[in-house]
Amino acid sequence: MYLFPARDNQPAEQIAVCASSPSTQESKKHAIQCGLAAQVLQLSGKLWLRAFGCSMLPSVWPGDLFLIRLAAFADLHTGQLLFYAAENGLVIHRIVEKNANRVITRGDSLPHDDAPVSPSQVLGTVALIQRGRVRFIPKGDLNCTQKLLRTLIRRSTWFRSFLLRLNALRLKWTRSQPEPQYPIV
């Protein structure tokens, strides 16, 4: 799950960019952006990021916003969405196993576990997901419908492409609608 900047209406000090880049100049820019995101999280304790990629389908969709909260390694548990620094950038995947000195993560739609994550790589956990105008707290496990979708996504490239195209249409339609005016509390 790669990460992109949050929308303009999110607090400016809590917006970060993170995506893989092929060129050397772009990879330097990418490294700086990821470092800044980690620093903002360390300093403020929270960070808004936009999802890009399909490794967390069906629980997270491209275009979703994440509210990341700073988290200590000792406070992590199985089922949480972990935000961590990997070799290729910043990643959000679900914790599938934890012991005293590492956690194992996996994207919901991926068949294999990721490389072990050490305590020094852990940055935070996902506290909130915003999809369009709806905000929700991520659940610790997939429901029956999501498990069925996950199986279909893993086994069928055509089905995954179809769902991603539907999501792109949803994003296009949502962005064309006027933003609701929320009262300032």
Domain hosting residue 167, numbered range: 2-176
Residue 157 inside a domain? The answer is yes
Provide mean pLDDT across the span 29-37: 82
Residue 80 inside a domain? The answer is yes
| pLDDT reported for residue 21 | 39
Residue 44 inside a domain? The answer is yes
Number of residues in the chain: 185
Q: Which of 87-101, 119-133, 167-181 has the lowest mean pLDDT?
A: 167-181
Domain count, the chain: 1
Provide mean pLDDT across the span 167-177: 81
Instruction: Say which CATH number the domain at 105 has.
Output: 2.10.109.10
pTM: 0.79
**Is it the case that residue 60 has pLDDT exceeding 90?**
yes
Residue 181 inside a domain? The answer is no
Residue 130 inside a domain? The answer is yes
Average pLDDT score over the chain: 83
- 3-state SS record for 149-179: HHHHHHHCHHHHHHHHHHHHHHHHHHHHCCC
Rounded Cα–Cα distance for residues 137 and 130 (Å) = 9
